[in-house]
Structure 1
């Protein structure tokens, strides 16, 4: 960990909704004039899209599974190295995983390359003079026998909808945005489950703050759900691992977020429609204190 060069990691599984938290941080960074080195978790996958399909086929032939949730398909060692190096020097290496034609066009124009979706850009140095490193992806607090990414994180934020809601969000996203069939998505969920239990879930015991969306409508069979429950059909449970360490002012938060309430001494509940606002109200003073600590 580092006061001079802090590392902030937002972690959540595929379809969990980490983009909402990323947007809240972007607003905070903009308002406070903070320069962040942004890291996308997908860039630390071990294989590009074509190679991943080939490796999955090999694993299936041997009666095993390979998923983007587990260490076999990721470079946890390089992610840990980046977090450690940034904490020590404020520098490190990054690359991008290209998801779409639009991203390919943007990176090719910037780098003079001829890359396609599913490929990685070359490694490059982080920009100099950034105030903090901001990671958003699957493994911001991953720990295995060989690698410990979490030990280098100064602020860890988990995005953890209840699992049925997470599956509904993933099914709808992968179907609408990526054209996958419902059967293919369910197969992916089943294949990933062992790695989900071993490597994704344990991270949420290490996070400083968890945001868990809980729907107030029936999600008992996520595989036939026609719609994603809306924010207004949900509550968000916000759990603070150590409220004293984060200097959480619960009376202030309860007064600022209408219809919120405490459910435990370290947990509060807010209406789902106020999730983004709650994130900014909670996270902004924490980030500002981190920036002040850099000056000491």
Structure 2
């Protein structure tokens, strides 16, 4: 953790909704005049698209049917840890971009599914903002979680997560339902061993729970709407959280445990604005104080 160069990390599975959370934070940063360095977790994959396909085929040929982007072997977790450490100490670090499609790749003159060259983060940013699979990962070899000042988990219940992934990958990426299902099954061991444990390190977890039938996610025709869901917000440390204020501002909300608020799913953006704006402002006040003391 760093008083001078704070780090915020959003972690969640593919299809969990972390990108929507990133947009909410971008709004807060713009409104409060905070300059953020945005880092996507995909940029720390070990292999580009063609290399990953070859690595998966090689793993399958050797009897490993569980090789996935969720596990450490397919990612540069040591370099992600180094980025967090470096930014916390110096406000800088090395990053690159993963180019998902033609639109992202065209400005670089590269093919989709490739990485841009490594380069230094922009100068004079106020905060590092990470969004991806491993923002709070801890393994025998790396501890990314220790460097982040604010860690947020985005964790829909598993059937909803699968529905969101199935619809996104079929409609936006052209995959068949069978291919997406195979990916879900292949990733499951890494999901259990490397993604789920992160949500014990996160400071705040947002879990969307549908109130409609999602018992068979593989035949669901539509994604349950936000208004067809409840949102569970869990604080790892409830000290300093103004629960009466949050309950008064988020209508139809209640507390299910001393550290947990439940509210309508459509209130997610409002809840995030109310919860994280003061947290971000405290990080910025702490940063300004540290810079003044050192300046």
TM-score (norm 2): 0.97
Structure 1 residue 77 and structure 2 residue 92: aligned? no
User: In the alignment, what sits opposite 1:26?
Assistant: 26
Deviation at 1:21, TM superposition (A): 1.1
User: In the alignment, what sits opposite 2:189?
Assistant: 194
Distance of 1:40 and 1:19 partners within structure 2:
10
Structure 1: segments with no counterpart, 5+ residues: 109-113
User: In the alignment, what sits opposite 2:243?
Assistant: 250
User: In the alignment, what sits opposite 2:256?
Assistant: 263
Deviation at 1:105, TM superposition (A): 1.6
Distance of 2:20 and 2:204 partners within structure 1:
15
Distance of 1:263 and 1:23 partners within structure 2:
28
Deviation at 1:100, TM superposition (A): 0.8
Match for 1:211 among 206, 210, 222?
Answer: 206
Structure 1 residue 284 and structure 2 residue 288: aligned? no
Distance of 1:121 and 1:295 partners within structure 2:
33
Structure 1 residue 41 and structure 2 residue 41: aligned? yes
Deviation at 1:137, TM superposition (A): 0.4
Structure 1 residue 91 and structure 2 residue 92: aligned? yes
Deviation at 1:243, TM superposition (A): 1.5
Distance of 2:288 and 2:19 partners within structure 1:
30
Deviation string 1:29-55 (CA, Å, 9 cap, x unpaired) is 001000001000000000000000000
Deviation string 1:233-286 (CA, Å, 9 cap, x unpaired) is 000000000021xx2100000010111111100000110111111111110000
Deviation string 1:88-123 (CA, Å, 9 cap, x unpaired) is 0000011000001010123x1xxxxx3110000000
Where does structure 1 differ by over 3 angstroms across 4 or more consecutive aligned residues?
Answer: none
Structure 1 residue 164 and structure 2 residue 179: aligned? no
Deviation string 1:134-168 (CA, Å, 9 cap, x unpaired) is 00000001111111111111100000000000000
Distance of 1:21 and 1:118 partners within structure 2:
24
Structure 1 residue 101 and structure 2 residue 102: aligned? yes
User: In the alignment, what sits opposite 2:63?
Assistant: 63
Distance of 1:51 and 1:3 partners within structure 2:
39
Aligned-residue CA RMSD (Å)? 0.6
State the secondary structure of the residue aligned to 1:80: helix
Distance of 1:295 and 1:256 partners within structure 2:
29
State the secondary structure of the residue aligned to 2:219: coil
State the secondary structure of the residue aligned to 2:99: coil
TM-score (norm 1): 0.96
User: In the alignment, what sits opposite 2:217?
Assistant: 222
Match for 1:180 among 164, 175, 181?
Answer: 175
